[in-house]
Each structure stands twice: as C-alpha cells, then as structure tokens.
Amino acid sequence: MKNFEYKTKPFEHQREALKRGANSNNFAYFMEMGTGKTKVTIDNASYLFTQDKVKIAIVIAPNSVYLNWKKEIETHCSVDYEIFSHKVDEMVSPQFADPLKLTWYLMNVEALSHKSGLRKVKDLLTFPHETMIIIDEATTIKNRSANRTKNIIEIGKHVGYKRILTGSPVTKSPLDLYSQCAFLDRSLLGHESFYTFRARYAVMHEIDMGGRAVLLPKYYTNLEELEQNLKKFSYRCRKAECLDLPEKLYTQHYITLKDEHQRAYDKLKKNAWAVIQDEEVSYSNKLTEILKLHQCVNGHVKADDGTNIGIF
C-alpha cells in the first residue's frame, strides 16, 4: 500500500478502509452515505490492478446508483481504464478489452433477476480469478428467496474478488446479513445454511396467518458475537466518526419571478396562509396548499379539480 498512488487524496477513514480491505478476496465496506465508500472501492480495484490481481471490475447496483459510478470512476480511478455501462447484452467481452487497462462493467441489479441476465454476466467472466464483483447498496440482495439474490450468489462462486457496499447492512433484522455475506463467502459467518444462522441469532415463534403457520423472529440473540464475526471481513464507518470530513454547506438561492408568475404565486400564497391559519383544516389539506406553492415556483399549478391554472 505504501507505493499506491491515489488520484484524489483520501480522507483518513478512507485510507484506513482501503488498508483493511485492499488485499482481501472478500470484503464488506459498511460505510454510511457521505463517507466515500465508492471512492474506497475504486481505489481498491485500482490497487489490485497495479498488483496484477484484478483486470475486470463488475459493478452491480440499483438503477438510480450504477450510472453514477461512471463519474466516480472518472474522478477517482488512478490507473488507465475503460468503462462499459450500456445494456448487458451489448457489452464487449473482456477478451476484446485492452489488457493494459482496468475494464469496468456497470449494470443494473435488476438485470440479474432473470436467467438471461445471469448468462450474460457469466459471459463476462473470461478471467474469473482476475475479476472483482462489487455489489453497491448490498441490501438489494438481502432477500435470499429473490431470483436476483440467488443469481448474484451463483456468480460470486466463480470470481476471485468480491465487495459489498452499504451504509445500512441491517434494515429490518440482523437476518438481513445472511445473503449479503453469503455472496462474499458462506463460511465467513460460520454458517453454510441460513437455518443454522437463524437458529444462532434469532428466537422464532409461530403465528397463524389465515390458516397458514408462519415463523417470525420473536427476539434476537448472540448479537455481540455476530458483530465480532462481521469485523473480521468488514470495515464499519459512520459519518459522525469521520472527524476530517468537511461540514455541510447550505446555500440559499434567490430567484425573481416574472410579473404574471409572481401574481399567481402571491394569490396562492395568500390563500395558503388562510388555510394554514385555520385550526379546523386538516394537516393534509395544509400540505396540499404548500405543494401548490412549490408547483407554482416550478412553472405550473393545478386547481382542486385537476385543471392547470398556470404555465409560465
């Protein structure tokens, strides 16, 4: 790590995160939003490329996230690279990619909900032992019964390096962790089976759901042990712990509306103020009046009957 050259200077927690996960075959970056887990992962793939360990990096993320990786790679990737971010079935095979560049494939996690998507991704595994698969927002594979979860875990069996990224690995239950960690390696948590994992960390009880018996967690147990096991292959970072992060900056922007626009806004504002002051009016109706003001500033507003009363 001493000779690795960053393209963009890391914060101290990012440097520590990379130090922890740099050479691991399987690692989790449990870093809150705003702490830079994407940069850390890009640095990780870049570092392994300089060590001749990784040639291909496949990023699988929700639709709202994966396209943002292109910009992040352009900002942070410290080695020569090329990026493919169009449809899975149109991606160039790694065997035709430039071997002197780190090749990035960016794709929507929904593509892995179907067998066709699974086959296409498998086609990209020309160099499986020199491939890193990155699951951003890893809670998208917390449901072990979902097709995409099964397919992604199946793909993970064939590659040399895997990373999961999320700021909140547990959304509803500690049991959310099983599938995410199973993608990395089922043995990491010491349980090859979900059922033995559940038996260790949850006490279940049976409830009747319209004549059908369903098992639900009653309470959770051995959570300190689970936390210690996670620490062996993950880096946890909360924004409040990052002392060198800059403070948030808030900027107010003032705009001037055109005459007709301003008159419409003032009329709505007067009516909204009367509604908000009326104690007998519901909160829902008051929020509706505020929404009308927001719509007006954005160029239009609709009356209660749904007709448009202003486009500017």
Domain parsing of the chain, residue ranges: 12-241, 259-311
pLDDT of residue 72: 96
User: Is this model's pTM higher than 0.85 or not?
Assistant: no
Strand order in the sheet with 26-31: 81-84, 102-108, 56-61, 131-136, 161-165, 26-31, 234-237
How many CB atoms lie under 10 A from the CB of residue 112?
Answer: 27
pLDDT of residue 213: 86
pLDDT of residue 310: 57
CATH fold label, 12-241? Rossmann fold (3.40.50)
Q: What's the rounded Cα separation, in Å, for the pair 120 and 107?
A: 11
Phi, psi of 75 (to 5 degrees): -80, -40
pLDDT digits (tens, 9 = 90+) for 270-279: 888 888 888 7
pLDDT of residue 254: 65
Question: Pairing between strand 300-302 and 308-311?
Answer: antiparallel
pLDDT digits (tens, 9 = 90+) for 137-150: 999 999 999 999 99
Ranges of the chain with pLDDT below 50: 311
Q: Name the E strands within the chain.
A: 26-31, 56-61, 81-84, 102-108, 131-136, 161-165, 202-208, 213-220, 234-237, 300-302, 308-311
User: What are the tokens at 95?
Assistant: 């065997």
pLDDT of residue 117: 86
pLDDT of residue 90: 67
Distances from the Cα of 148 to the Cα of 102, 131, 174, 287, 300, angstroms? 26, 19, 20, 39, 41
